[in-house]
């Protein structure tokens, strides 16, 4: 499990901030407080772990858009991650510095490992070099580097906001693209097809939960296309009707809900170790949010979850210690996990969302 992250120099995290992570972490805060910025750092790690850091920097608008208040004010991004495993503690530390023509290069990259056990065991710390544009984790045969790279691969950011007519989720999926659910749910039909063929128990649970939030829904109809048998479309049927509906006939909110339900009910072999959800409440009915909260709580028995949300309805389903408030103190973002003892008397009379509205938790526009 990822147990701690320290980040500085990145967007609104100008000064280094630390966050200890639990199995469930729910970020709340005002617009512009920095919630999405923290999520976007994990996107950076996703691309870094595949050797596409420079591509991501270009897509993001260049290094100046990532460095706090631009490259003239901030020259480096610093980050440190700590992972706990059954064998010990692994660490990953990087410094990324501005370089012409508005990109970032590694000026420090190192991994560490401290084995658990009786007696003193000297921690390992390995420097992976400097001056490179892509991570030296890739291709390394060093066990600590291979472990960290595997963990970065297993941190996945999901955002299902694009449900427009041209969105990938509404288009045919290649049948073989079914090993995991993509971050935009573009292969949702292929994943559901695989589950229906190989993991029928998981498939039936997904169908059952979709029916709870969409009562007219009967089942998916995922037969490969007669025109191209290697593709499948997210077709579906309605209870009591022989009519075949297509993905273009699903509302935006329903389509997002189906993607979320599928993600959170996947088999272990198809789930990342850390699931990051950016504003999953978009377009969902309050009852659907209750279902979503239950699925999130259930999946945390198997995986670690970090959510960024603006939904008062959603946070009422979580414990105070799950909530991390993101505030802007001056120009910088600050993170603070809520303390149950401090809130005990308040919670006798108010819900979590009411305390947020009353600014007891923070996370309100200042």
The domain spans of the chain are: 1-154+319-366
d(CA 182, CA 185): 5
Q: How many CB atoms lie within 10 A of CB 131?
A: 9
CA dihedral angle for residue 296, residue 298, residue 302, residue 308, rounded to 10 degrees:
10
Cβ burial of 5 (10 Å; 0-12, 13-18, 19+) is buried
d(CA 87, CA 89): 7
Q: What stretches in the chain show pLDDT beneath 70?
A: 117-121, 366
Residue 225: DSSP 8-state = P
Q: Which of 256, 213, 216 lies closest to 236 in space, CA to CA?
A: 216
Q: How many CB atoms lie within 10 A of CB 273?
A: 17
Helix (H) or strand (E) holding 149: helix 143-153
Q: Residue 118: its pLDDT value, please?
A: 59
Domain 1-154+319-366 has CATH 3.30.360.10: no
CA of 117: how far to CAs of 87, 205, 297, in Å? 8, 41, 32
What are the φ/ψ torsions at residue 191 (nearest 5 degrees)? -65, -45
Using a cut of 0.95, tell me whether the model's pTM lies above it: no
């Amino acid at each position: 499990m990822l147990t701690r992250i320290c980040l500085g120099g990145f967007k609104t995290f100008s000064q280094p901030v630390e966050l200890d992570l639990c199995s469930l972490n729910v970020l709340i805060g005002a617009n512009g407080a920095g919630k999405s910025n923290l999520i976007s750092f994990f996107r950076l790690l996703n691309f870094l772990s595949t050797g596409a850091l420079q591509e991501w920097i270009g897509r993001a608008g260049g290094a100046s858009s990532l460095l706090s208040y631009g490259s003239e004010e901030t020259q480096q991004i610093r980050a440190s991650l700590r992972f706990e495993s059954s064998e010990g503690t692994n660490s990953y530390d990087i410094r990324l510095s501005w370089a012409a023509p508005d990109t970032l290069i590694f000026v420090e990259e190192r991994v560490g490992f401290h084995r658990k056990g009786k007696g003193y065991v000297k921690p390992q710390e390995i420097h992976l070099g400097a001056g490179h544009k892509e991570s030296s984790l890739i291709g390394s045969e060093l066990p600590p580097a291979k472990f960290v790279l595997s963990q970065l691969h297993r941190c996945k950011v999901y955002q299902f906001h694009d449900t427009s007519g041209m969105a990938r989720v509404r288009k045919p999926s290649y049948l073989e693209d079914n090993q995991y659910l993509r971050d935009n749910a573009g292969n949702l039909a292929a994943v559901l097809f695989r589950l229906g063929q190989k993991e029928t128990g998981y498939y039936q649970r997904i169908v059952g939960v979709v029916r709870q939030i969409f009562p007219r829904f009967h089942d998916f109809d995922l037969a490969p296309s007669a025109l191209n048998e290697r593709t499948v479309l997210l077709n579906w049927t309605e209870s009591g009707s022989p009519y075949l509906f297509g993905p273009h006939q699903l509302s935006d909110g329903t389509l997002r809900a189906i993607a979320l339900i599928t993600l959170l009910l996947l088999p272990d072999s198809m789930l990342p170790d850390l699931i990051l959800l950016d504003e999953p409440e978009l377009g969902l009915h309050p009852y659907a949010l209750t279902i979503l909260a239950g699925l999130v709580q259930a999946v945390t028995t198997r995986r670690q979850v970090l959510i960024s949300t603006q939904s008062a309805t959603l946070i009422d389903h979580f414990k105070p210690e799950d909530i991390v408030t993101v505030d802007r103190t001056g120009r910088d973002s600050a993170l603070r996990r809520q303390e149950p003892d401090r809130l005990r008397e308040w919670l006798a009379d108010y819900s979590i969302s009411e305390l947020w509205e009353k600014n007891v938790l923070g996370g309100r526009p200042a």
